Amino acid sequence: MNFQLWGRKCLDILWPPICAHCRRGLSSSVSGTLCHSCRAQLIPLEAPFCLRCADVSNLVSALCVSCRNKKFACRLIRAAFLYRGPIHSWVYSFKYRGRFPAAQEAGRLMARNWARFRELPPPDILVSVPLHFRRENERGYNQAEILARAISKETGIPVLSPLIRVRETQAQWKLDKKSRQRNIAGAFKVARPGDVLGRRIVLIDDVCTTGFSLEACAEALKERGAIDVCAYAFAREI
């Protein structure tokens, strides 16, 4: 038994691992964030959904009400799962409880689910949605970057970090839809234009709610010469 494995076994005895959702103890055969039964309740994003933003509500033929007759910098949004049920606890565990291995596991799952979306071909680079440096310092990491790095490890697609968040914004979930758009507009800037010019990019984020953050990132990337910007999230709120 190597030292790392031995260390983990000791920690497991002191603090037995529990499911992030139902809080039941995880059996030794389960290495992950959720128990078998909670994991089985995850709902994959499946058609029918809006062909642009993957919203499954308010569909008007192929597009939803928000996407009809509009142009977007972020051409396409997809997600591995719907943001319903136990996935809330999974996201909470890496976003607010400091469990970054839960984000690595989520990233691996995103990589495996990517193949279901043929309309989202592998890009030149992956770019994570940045946090403001103050929030990243508080949390100790950017969860979207951990997702991107885990996907990169599985797929070989490189990760670059050309974007920065130039102003602190309020947490989007605290705001209504109109305020969310105002809150996030112009919040991102490309700090390294050389990483972006002529590149096809997929933005990576944990949860897509309205798509406004993704759109603001995509606008900044397109302004600096990205030729195509799409997005892929762990979960899609509907």
Q: Does 67 bind Zn ion (CB under 5 A)?
A: yes
The nearest distance, CB 23 to Zn ion, in angstroms, is 7
Q: Which of 26, 32, 45, 52 binds Zn ion (CB under 5 A)?
A: 52
Q: Which is nearer to Zn ion, 75 or 153 (CB)?
A: 75
Q: Does 20 bind Zn ion (CB under 5 A)?
A: no
Q: Which is nearer to Zn ion, 53 or 87 (CB)?
A: 53
The nearest distance, CB 6 to Zn ion, in angstroms, is 27
Q: Which is nearer to Zn ion, 166 or 238 (CB)?
A: 238
Q: Does 74 bind Zn ion (CB under 5 A)?
A: no
- Angle formed at CA 59 by CA 57 and CA 64, multiple of 5 degrees: 95
Q: Does 64 bind Zn ion (CB under 5 A)?
A: yes
Stretch that binds Zn ion, among 3-11, 13-21, 92-100, 217-225 (CB under 5 A): 13-21
Burial class (CB in 10 A: 0-12, 13-18, 19+), 212: buried
Q: Does 38 bind Zn ion (CB under 5 A)?
A: yes
Q: Does 236 bind Zn ion (CB under 5 A)?
A: no
What counts of helices (H) and strands (E) characterise the chain? 8, 8
Q: Which is nearer to Zn ion, 59 or 164 (CB)?
A: 59
Which alpha helices (DSSP H) does the chain contain, by range? 3-14, 36-39, 87-95, 100-114, 133-139, 143-155, 177-184, 212-223
- Measured CA to CA, the distance from residue 1 to residue 9 in angstroms comes to 10
- Measured CA to CA, the distance from residue 151 to residue 126 in angstroms comes to 9
Q: Does 78 bind Zn ion (CB under 5 A)?
A: no
Residues in contact with Zn ion, shown as a per-residue x/- string from 98 to 137 under the rule CB under 5 A:
----------------------------------------
Handedness of CA 84, 94, 143, 178 (dihedral sign): positive
The nearest distance, CB 153 to Zn ion, in angstroms, is 26
Count of chain residues binding Zn ion (CB under 5 A): 11
Asked if the bond preceding 101 is cis, omega within 30° of 0, the reply is: no
**Token pair listed for 84:** 């319903």
Contact 44, 83 (CB under 8 A): no
213 backbone dihedrals φ, ψ, rounded to 5°: -65, -45
190 membership: H or E segment, kind and range: strand 188-190
The nearest distance, CB 232 to Zn ion, in angstroms, is 15
Q: Which of 26, 45, 50, 129 binds Zn ion (CB under 5 A)?
A: 50
Q: Which of 26, 32, 33, 35 binds Zn ion (CB under 5 A)?
A: 35
Binding positions for Zn ion, rule: CB under 5 A? 19, 21-22, 35, 38, 50, 52-53, 55, 64, 67
